[in-house]
Structure 1
Amino acid sequence: MILVLPLCLFEMNSVFFLGGSLTGLKQRTGVDVANIDASSVRCNLRGVARSPGFSKDGDFIIGGVFSIHYNMYTEMYNYVTMPDPPKCTGSMNVRGLRFARAMIFAIEEINNSTELLPGINLGYQIHDSCSAVPVAVQAAFQLSNGGDNIFYKNDICSQSGMMAAFVAESGSTPSIGISQVIGSFDIPQVSHFATCACLSDKQQFPNFFRTIPSDAFQAEALAKLVKHFGWTWIGTICSDSDYGNYGMASFLQAAKKEGICVEFSESFYRTNQISKIQRVADVIRRSTATVIVAFASSGDMKVLLGELARKPSRSWQWIGSEAWVTDPNLLKFDFCEGALGFGIQKAIIPGLRDFLLDLSPSELGFNLIKWTRYKIRMGKLSQACKQHCLGRHSYFVFSPYTETSQLRVTNMVYKAVYAIAHAIHSVVCPERNFTTKCDKPLKKVNFTRNGYSVSFDVNGDPVAVYELVNWQKGESGVNELVTVGYYDASFPINKEFHITRNLTWMDGSKQVPKSKCTDSCPTGTHKVLQKGKPICCYDCIQCPEGEISNTTDSSDCFPCSIEFWPSAERDSCHPKPVEFLSIDETLAIVLAVFSVSGACLAILTAAVFFYHRTTPIVRANNSELSFLLLFSLTLCFLCSLTFIGAPTEWSCMLRHSAFGITFVLCISCVLGKTIVVLMAFKATLPGSNVMKWFGPPQQRLTVVLFTFVQVLICTVWLVARPPFPMKNFSTYKEKIILECALGSAIGFWAVLGYIGLLAVFCFVLAVLARKLPDNFNEAKFITFSMVIFCAVWLTFIPAFVSSPGKLTVAVEIFAILASSFGLIMCLFAPKCFIILCQPEKNTKKYLMNKK
C-alpha cells in the first residue's frame, strides 16, 4: 500500500520543512528560515489531505489522533492513478469517540477559563486513525505540516495557529510511529493510553509524555497479584503489538522472579487470519492452567473472546491488563465473570455527559441508521421516545458512548489536554506574547484537577496508581465493573497492593480458584522437580530423618536444632526427651533395692560377727580386717545409689571417686586377709618368726597405704579434669542422653586399673594359699571371691563401652553390686553358716585339726 503524505515543500535548496523548532531545522539543514519573508514562500501539498473528524481554529492548535473505528478499508492500487486517502470501516469504537469528544470538552473548558490561558483560544484537529498504524502516522505528518504558509519569526513561537502538541494515541504501536515522526521537530506528544515501557526511553522518544502509567508498573503489579492468590501455573496471551509484546515480556520477567510458571504464551492480532485466532483459542481450551493472564488491547480481546464463546468449554479465571479489563464493551461475555485486573483510577468530569449528548450524527457524517447499528437500539424505544430523539438526541443515553460513571482512560485524555495547556500557560504572558523560547515546559508541569494531580517524572511518566477491578454480576444479571482494591507504586515495597472488599471468581464462585501444575506439597514434605518440566511441576517427597518443613510447597527441608527432633509428621520440631537412669524407672528401682539389700546384708553380717566375736571362727579370721571389709562392702553397695538420678556436677565427681576408693578399701582388706593366711602358715614352721613382721599394725598400714594410693589418683583426677554432667547427642539422634562425662579418660582407667591390679595380686596370693592343710582354709573362699570379682569386671569393660545411654550406668551399677555380692557371699556366707547352723564346728579343736 502506498502512503501519500501531504507535505509542505519550500522551493529553496530543495529543503522540506514540517514545522517545529527553527533552530533545530537550521542545525539539521543549514538553512536559516528565520529571515525568510513569509510572502515569498510558496507551499504545495503533495497528495490529498484527509479531513479531520473534528477541527477548530485557534491561537494554538492541539492535534489529536484516536481510534474511532476498529478497521481500515484496504483497496488494491493500480499504480496509475493517485490512490484515495485511507478510509475507516467496520464497527465504531465508541470509546475512542468518547476520548475525542473529551478532548474537545477540555479545550472548550480551558477557552472559557479566566485563570488558564486567559485571552488565548486553543484550537484542535482530531483525526481517526482507524486503529491502523499507517493512518496514524499519516495523520501525524499532516498535523505536523500545519494549515497555513506563515512560519515562525526569529525562532520565537509567536505565530498564531501553530501546532503546540499532540494528544495521541490509544495504542503503543501507533504512538511509537507518531513519536518517531514528530519527535524530530520537537513537537511534544502526550498519550492517554499508550503504556508500553519502551516509550520511557528518552533517547528514542525525547518528547513523549503520558498521563497513564507505564506497563513496567502494571506488569509487576499483575505478577504480584498472581502470586498473592497462590497461582503458580498460568497461561498467557498478548496482543502481537508493541503494547502486548513489551508488556508481556515485562510480566514474564516479573513472574519468573515470583516463582510463577507459564504453561503457554501465545500472541495474536485481531487482523490475523481466523485460523490463527482459532489456534490460540484451542491452546487455551486444551490448557491445564485455570488462570489466563491477558496483556492485550480491547479490540484484540473482543476477537479472541468471541472465538472462545463460539465453542464454549470450561471456565477460566481471567487476569487482564487495563487496556481491556475496564472496557465496558467486553462485559457482555458472561463466561468472563470474575475477571480481575488493574484499571486506571475512576474519575468524575463535571459536565462531560451533557457535552457528549450535544453531539449530533451529522457532525460525524453518520446518519441515525448507522447509530442504530452501533449499539443504539432504537427499535426497542417507544414512539414518543423516538420523537424526542429527533430533538435532544437522547438516544445517546443508551450508548456506552455516554457512560461516564466509570471514566478512567477518558480522564487521562482530559488530563493530557490540561497538561499541554499548563505548559503553554507557563511560557505565555497575559498579553499573548512569548516571554521565552519554546523549551520543554511539559517536564515542569505539576497541577491538580478534579482532585487528581498531574506531573511527569524524568521519563515523562506519571506516578503509577491503579484500581483493582473485578467483573461481578449485578442485580440485572449483567457483568459490572467493581473496584475491589488498589495498587500504588509510590508506597513502600510489599505494601503497594491492597484488597478492600470481597471478590467474585470465575463462574460466580466466592472461593479462590486453584491453578497449579502440582498440588501443594503439605508440611513435612519438600518439592523435587520433575525431569524436563518447569519448576512448578514437582513431586512431594517426605523430609529425610531429622529434618522438617513447616510450610507448604517447601523447596527444601531443614534440620532441627541439636536439642530438638522432628515430629512424626516431620512438620515441627519438638524438644528431644532427656534420658537418664531415673529413680522412678523400674530398672532403677530394682537396682536400688539390690543396693540397699546388699548394704543391709553387710550390716547384718557385721552384727552376727560382732555378736560371736569371741568364737574361734571369728577370731581365727582376723576379726579386725573382717569388720573393716564389711564396712567397705557396705559402702560399695551404697555407692551404686549415686549412679541413679540426673547427673549433676557433684554426683558425677562423687560416684566415680566413691566407687574407686571403696573398692580399693575392700580389695585391700581382702589382700590383707590373704597375706595373713600365708603368714600364719609360715609361722607354724619351726623357727619361723614371720608373724611379728605382719602383725595387726602392719595389716592396718597395708590397708591404709593401698587405699591412699587410690585416694591420690582420684584427687589428681578431680583436680585436673573431673567428671562433669554432659548431654550426649551422638548416641541417639532422637533423644538426649544425660550422662557423666569422664573428664579425663586417663584418670578413669587409672582408677579401674589400680583396682584390677590389686584384685589380680590378691587372686595370685589366694591361689598360692588355697591348699594349705587347715580344716577351715579362708584362702579357698578368697580365691573364689577374686575369681568372681575379676570375671565381673572383665565382663564389665566391653559391656560398659558398648552399652548405649542409661544402660551404661545400669551396667556399671550391676558390676558394682555383682562384685560386692560375690565378695560377701564367698567370704562371709560359709562362716555365718557355721556360726548359725553348725555351732559344733565353731571350736578351736575343729579348726586346728588338719584334714
Structure 2
Amino acid sequence: MVTKFYQHILAMAFAISEINENPKILANVTLGSHILDSYYDVRLTYCSTLGLLFKSQRFIPNYKCETQKNLVAIIGGLDSETSFHMADILGLYKTPQLSYGSFATEEMVMAKFPFFYRTVPNESHQYMGIIQLLLHFGWTWIGLLAVDDESGERFLKNVEPLLSKYGICLAVTFRIPKQINWENTDDLLRIFSNRHKFFKDNKVNTFIFYGDSMSIASFNSITILADSKFKGNILFRKVWIMTGQIDFAATGLQIALQIDFQFFQGAISFTVHSNEIPGFQKFLQNVKPYQSQGDDFLKEFWEQAFTCPLPEPQQPVNVGKTCSGEERLEDVLGHVFEMHTTGDGYSIYNAVYAVAHALHSLYASKSSHSSTMGTKTVELQDLHPWQLHPFLQGLSFNNSAGEMISFNDNKEMEGGFDLINLVMFPNNSFLKVRVGRVDPSASKGENFSIHEEMIVWQSRFDQMVPLSVCNSPCYPGNLKKKKEGNKFCCYDCEECPEGKISDKKDMDDCFKCPEDQYPNKDHDQCIPKKISYLSYQDPIGIALASMALSSSLMTALVLGVFIKHSDTPIVKANNRDITYTLLVSLLLCFLSSLLFLGQPSKVTCFLRQSAFGIIFSVAVSCVLAKTITVYIAFMATKPGPSMRKWVGESLTNSIVLSCSLLQGAICTMWIVKSPPFPAMNKESVAGQIVLECNEGFVVMFYIVLGYMGLLSLISLTMAFLARKLPDSFNEAKFITFSMLIFCSVWLSFVPTYLSTKGKYMVAVEIFSILASSAGLLACIFSPKCFIILLRPELNNREQLMWKKTSRI
C-alpha cells in the first residue's frame, strides 16, 4: 500500500461529508461512495469498474444504507493508464468520469472518451513551464528520466522538440520501470549501469523526472541496489525537476526498510495548483481507526503508516508492539502521509463538488419541468448518469477555498501548476515550499513566475545557483562556434570580428553597432561616437586660423604699400591694376580658408569650394596674365614684330576675365547639378561621427582642381620660357618660383587628401590653400617690397632703364 494516497480517500470522504451537511446543495439527499483499488493492474481495473457499475459494495461515512443507490459518476483514476482502462467501460454506459490524474492530450480524450472529464490542467502548460524553468536558470545540458509506459513515451515525443527549439539539449534519456521486479535485480542494475556515467558527469546537474509516484518509488529502489555496486550515492548533487504526476510517496516495504529521499533535497516539483481546504486538517486530525466504519483501507493504512499492527477492538493493547489507535497523523513523515492538501486531494475535492453541483442543477431542472407539466416530483433515483453531462460542461462555482471551478471546452479544469521546492530534513521528513506558479490564465510574460531567493538547493553545490551546461558560456564579446560531432549545446567560444559586438551570453552571431555608435575594445557594448569636425578650438584649427589671419594681414600690408607707392615705376611695371587684383584675390584666398573651419552648415558648405575655386582661378589668371604680358612685351621690342598690337591692358584684362568666368561657369554647373551639403560621416573614422561637407557631385570638385592646375601649368610654362629675358627686373623669374611652389603644393594635395580621413582632410585642404597662396605672395611680391621699402634708390625709371641698356 502507498500510504500517502490514503489522503485521496479522505479528501473524497470530507467533501461528501460537507455536501451532506449543506442544506443548499441536494437538500434531503445523501451522497454516498464506493471506493475500490485498481492495484495498478489492468485486469483488476476492469473488474473494479464493473464492480462499481453492478455490485452493491459501498462505503458511506456516518450513514448505514441497506439499499443499493444509483451510481451517478465515477472519480478516478490516479494515472492516465488506469483512467483510460476505466473509460473503456464507462463510455459504453455514458457514465461521467472525472479523472484527477490524467494528463493526456485533449485530442486523444475528445476523440476516444467523450464522457471523460479532468480536474487537472492541460499538460502542455506543464511542458512550457519546464522550458521556462530551464531557461530561467540557464540549464541547457540536462538528463531526462521517464516512466517506461505509453505516457512516458508521449512525454518524450512532446518535450524533446520543445527542448531543441529553445536551445536545450538532452545529455541522456533514462527509462524507469513502473514497478520493480525484485526477482530480476540484475536487469535493473544493468539498466542503471548503462547510464551510470551520466549521473557521475558534473556537467549534467539537472534531471527531469517524468512518471508517477510508483515510478519514483521504483527509482528509489534502483538507487539502493546501485549504491551497493557504485560506492557512494551518485545522485546527490543533482537538481531534480519532478512533473505534476509525481508525489513523494513510499510503498509499505520502503517505509519498513526506512528508505529515505535525501538525494531529492532541493528538488523542484510541478504540482497541480491547490489551496488549503478549510477544515480539512482538522478532519484529518480526527481520523481514528476505531471510529470510522465501512472503511476497509483504514486498518492497513494505519498499520503501515505507524509500522505497528492494529489489534481488534476487543483485544488488549500490547504497548510497544501494537498500535493503540490514538496515534496522530501529523507525526508521520511527509512521504508516508501529508496533513496539507496535496494537488491530487484538491482535485478530488473539486471533482466531488462538481458532481454535486451538476446533480443539483439537473434535479432542479427536472423538478421545475415536472411542476410546470403538473406531474409528480422527480426523484433522484429516476435520473440517469448520462443526463449529467450537459450540466457538467456548463458548470461554474466557487469552492470553499474561494477559487472558481469550471470545465473548459476540452472538459478540463484551468488551474495551472504550482512550483514546489522540496526541503529535506535529516529525519527524512520534508517541507514543501511554494516558490512559483505556472498560470495559463495570466497575460503573456506573467504566466510563469518563480521566487529564486526562496529555493533551497543541495548543500553539495559549489555555486549559489547550480549550473547544468555542457561547457562554460560564451560571454559578451564572443560568439558560439559549433563543435563538430557534438550536440549544439556543446560549443567553443570565438571573439567577435572587428567592427561587431555581442552583448549577451551564448550569442550565435555578433552584430554591428548602430551607425552613431562603435564597438568598445572588448566587443561587448556599443559606445556613442564622438562628434568630430575641425573647430576653432582645436589646436590644428587654431594654428590654421592664425596662419590664415596673419597671412591676410600680411597681404593687406603689401597691398597698402603698393597703393601708397602706386606712382613708382616698380608698381607701375607689368600692369598695376592686375597687381592690385592679384593681391586682393590672394587676400580673399587666405580669408576663404576660414570657411573650412567650424561646424559645417548649409551656407559654408555651399560657399567654400566654389569661393575657393573662383578666387584661386582669379589669382592664377592674374599670374598667367602677368607672365603673358612679360613675354609679349619683350617680343614686341624686337625689330619688325607683329606683337606690338597685343601689348596693353586689354589683353591682360581679357585673360583674367575669361579664365575666371570659365571657372565660375564650372562652379555654377556644380551648384545647380548637385551642390555640397552638410553631412554626418559615420564610417570613415572609427569611434567618431565626422561632420563634413558632402561634395555632392564629387567629379566637379576634381574638375575645379584640374582647371586650376591647367592654368597654373600654363603660367609655369610661360614663366619658365620668359625667365631669361633681358630686363633689369624680370618678374618672370619670381613667377616661375611661385608657380613651382603652387604646383608642388597642389600635386601633393591630391594623394594626401585622399589618404586622410575626417577633420584632417579639411586641414590638408586649408593648409594647401594657405601654402600655395603664401608661395605666390612671397615669391612675387617680396622682391618688390624689398626694393620699395629698403632700396628706394632702385625704384626709378632711369635705374631700371640703365640696367636694361647695359645688358643690351
Shorter-chain TM range is 0.7 to 0.9
**1:135 corresponds to 2:57:** no
Closer, same or farther in 2 for the Cα pair 1:679/1:410, shift >3 Å? closer
Match of 1:439 in 2: 387
SS at 2:454 equivalent:
coil
Q: CA deviation at 1:715?
A: 3.5
Closer, same or farther in 2 for the Cα pair 1:506/1:197, shift >3 Å? farther
Q: Deviations over 1:821-850 (max 9, x none)?
A: 332333223334444555564452433324
Match of 1:413 in 2: 348
Of the structure 1 ranges 251-260 and 230-239, higher mean CA displacement relative to structure 2 is found in 251-260
Query: In the TM superposition, what are the counterparts of 1:148-163 in structure 2 within 5 Å?
Result: 161-163=69-71
Match of 1:222 in 2: 130
Closer, same or farther in 2 for the Cα pair 1:702/1:418, shift >3 Å? closer
Of the structure 1 ranges 175-184 and 358-367, higher mean CA displacement relative to structure 2 is found in 358-367
Q: CA deviation at 1:518?
A: 2.3
Query: In the TM superposition, what are the counterparts of 1:451-466 in structure 2 within 5 Å?
Result: 451=401, 452-466=403-417
Take 1:367 and 1:800, find their aligned partners in 2: how far apart are those partners?
Answer: 99
Query: In the TM superposition, what are the counterparts of 1:208-219 in structure 2 within 5 Å?
Result: 208-219=116-127
Q: Deviations over 1:591-650 (max 9, x none)?
A: 334433433433343444455555444444444433332232222233223223332222
Take 1:660 and 1:208, find their aligned partners in 2: how far apart are those partners?
Answer: 92
Q: CA deviation at 1:365?
A: 7.4
Aligned partners of 1:726 and 1:741 also within 8 Å: yes
Q: CA deviation at 1:557?
A: 2.0
SS at 1:169 equivalent:
coil
SS at 2:414 equivalent:
coil
Take 2:708 and 2:14, find their aligned partners in 1: how far apart are those partners?
Answer: 112
Closer, same or farther in 2 for the Cα pair 1:408/1:346, shift >3 Å? farther
Match of 1:487 in 2: 438
Match of 2:60 in 1: none
Take 2:114 and 2:430, find their aligned partners in 1: how far apart are those partners?
Answer: 41
Match of 1:472 in 2: 423
Aligned AA (1:577): K
Closer, same or farther in 2 for the Cα pair 1:822/1:499, shift >3 Å? closer
SS at 1:641 equivalent:
helix
SS at 1:498 equivalent:
strand
Closer, same or farther in 2 for the Cα pair 1:674/1:482, shift >3 Å? closer
Match of 1:315 in 2: 237
SS at 2:34 equivalent:
strand
Q: CA deviation at 1:290?
A: 1.0
Take 1:788 and 1:115, find their aligned partners in 2: how far apart are those partners?
Answer: 113
Q: CA deviation at 1:191?
A: 2.1
Take 1:747 and 1:367, find their aligned partners in 2: how far apart are those partners?
Answer: 103
SS at 2:436 equivalent:
strand
Q: CA deviation at 1:207?
A: 2.1
Closer, same or farther in 2 for the Cα pair 1:594/1:450, shift >3 Å? closer
Take 1:113 and 1:767, find their aligned partners in 2: how far apart are those partners?
Answer: 125
Aligned AA (1:177): H
Take 2:329 and 2:76, find their aligned partners in 1: how far apart are those partners?
Answer: 25
Of the structure 1 ranges 796-805 and 652-661, higher mean CA displacement relative to structure 2 is found in 796-805
Match of 1:13 in 2: none
Aligned AA (2:487): P
Which of 209, 219, 224 is 1:304 aligned to?
Answer: 219
Take 1:781 and 1:648, find their aligned partners in 2: how far apart are those partners?
Answer: 39
Take 2:126 and 2:577, find their aligned partners in 1: how far apart are those partners?
Answer: 101
Q: CA deviation at 1:660?
A: 2.0
Aligned AA (1:638): L
Q: CA deviation at 1:294?
A: 0.8
Aligned AA (1:312): N
Query: In the TM superposition, what are the counterparts of 1:587-736 in structure 2 within 5 Å?
Result: 587-610=540-563, 612-685=565-638, 694-696=647-649, 699-700=652-653, 702-732=655-685, 734-736=687-689
**1:295 corresponds to 2:210:** yes
Match of 1:60 in 2: none
Q: CA deviation at 1:325?
A: 4.2
Q: CA deviation at 1:583?
A: 3.0
Take 2:327 and 2:481, find their aligned partners in 1: how far apart are those partners?
Answer: 65
Q: CA deviation at 1:563?
A: 2.3
Q: CA deviation at 1:320?
A: 0.9
Of the structure 1 ranges 577-586 and 173-182, higher mean CA displacement relative to structure 2 is found in 577-586
SS at 1:128 equivalent:
coil
Q: CA deviation at 1:547?
A: 2.0
Q: Deviations over 1:697-724 (max 9, x none)?
A: 6544543444344334434433443222
Of the structure 1 ranges 554-563 and 720-729, higher mean CA displacement relative to structure 2 is found in 720-729
Larger relative contact order (Cα-Cα within 8 Å, sequence gap ≥ 6): 2
Match of 1:74 in 2: none
Take 1:623 and 1:396, find their aligned partners in 2: how far apart are those partners?
Answer: 124
Closer, same or farther in 2 for the Cα pair 1:550/1:421, shift >3 Å? same
Which of 457, 480, 489 is 1:505 aligned to?
Answer: 457
**1:848 corresponds to 2:804:** yes
Aligned partners of 1:640 and 1:813 also within 8 Å: yes
Aligned AA (1:848): K
Match of 1:450 in 2: 400
Aligned partners of 1:615 and 1:842 also within 8 Å: yes
Q: CA deviation at 1:171?
A: 2.0
Closer, same or farther in 2 for the Cα pair 1:701/1:479, shift >3 Å? same
Aligned partners of 2:719 and 2:735 also within 8 Å: yes
Aligned partners of 2:605 and 2:678 also within 8 Å: yes
Where structure 1 has 5 or more consecutive residues not aligned to the other structure, the ranges are 1-91, 149-158
Of the structure 1 ranges 677-686 and 541-550, higher mean CA displacement relative to structure 2 is found in 677-686
Aligned AA (2:233): P
**1:560 corresponds to 2:513:** yes
Q: CA deviation at 1:393?
A: 4.1
**1:347 corresponds to 2:268:** no
Take 1:686 and 1:847, find their aligned partners in 2: how far apart are those partners?
Answer: 20
Aligned partners of 2:423 and 2:432 also within 8 Å: yes
Closer, same or farther in 2 for the Cα pair 1:701/1:486, shift >3 Å? closer
Q: CA deviation at 1:572?
A: 2.0
SS at 1:826 equivalent:
helix
Closer, same or farther in 2 for the Cα pair 1:693/1:276, shift >3 Å? same
Aligned partners of 2:317 and 2:323 also within 8 Å: no
Aligned AA (1:506): Q
Query: In the TM superposition, what are the counterparts of 1:81-120 in structure 2 within 5 Å?
Result: 92-107=1-16, 110-111=19-20, 114-120=23-29
SS at 1:514 equivalent:
coil
Closer, same or farther in 2 for the Cα pair 1:768/1:526, shift >3 Å? closer
Closer, same or farther in 2 for the Cα pair 1:701/1:201, shift >3 Å? same
Take 2:299 and 2:744, find their aligned partners in 1: how far apart are those partners?
Answer: 120
Take 1:366 and 1:732, find their aligned partners in 2: how far apart are those partners?
Answer: 84
Aligned partners of 2:69 and 2:381 also within 8 Å: no
Take 1:560 and 1:769, find their aligned partners in 2: how far apart are those partners?
Answer: 61
Name the % identity: 33
Match of 1:334 in 2: 262
Number of aligned residues: 747
Q: CA deviation at 1:389?
A: 8.3
Take 1:744 and 1:530, find their aligned partners in 2: how far apart are those partners?
Answer: 51
Aligned partners of 1:595 and 1:638 also within 8 Å: yes
Aligned AA (2:241): I
Take 1:597 and 1:786, find their aligned partners in 2: how far apart are those partners?
Answer: 22
Which of 766, 773, 795 is 2:719 aligned to?
Answer: 766
Q: CA deviation at 1:651?
A: 1.7
Q: CA deviation at 1:384?
A: 9.7
Q: Deviations over 1:407-435 (max 9, x none)?
A: 43223333333333444444445652567
Match of 1:244 in 2: 152
Query: In the TM superposition, what are the counterparts of 1:164-203 in structure 2 within 5 Å?
Result: 164-197=72-105, 201-203=109-111
Take 1:418 and 1:506, find their aligned partners in 2: how far apart are those partners?
Answer: 40
Closer, same or farther in 2 for the Cα pair 1:794/1:325, shift >3 Å? same
**1:530 corresponds to 2:445:** no
Closer, same or farther in 2 for the Cα pair 1:384/1:722, shift >3 Å? same
Match of 1:21 in 2: none
Q: Deviations over 1:459-485 (max 9, x none)?
A: 321113332211125698842112233
Closer, same or farther in 2 for the Cα pair 1:621/1:218, shift >3 Å? closer
**1:782 corresponds to 2:742:** no
Match of 1:394 in 2: 327
Q: CA deviation at 1:316?
A: 0.8
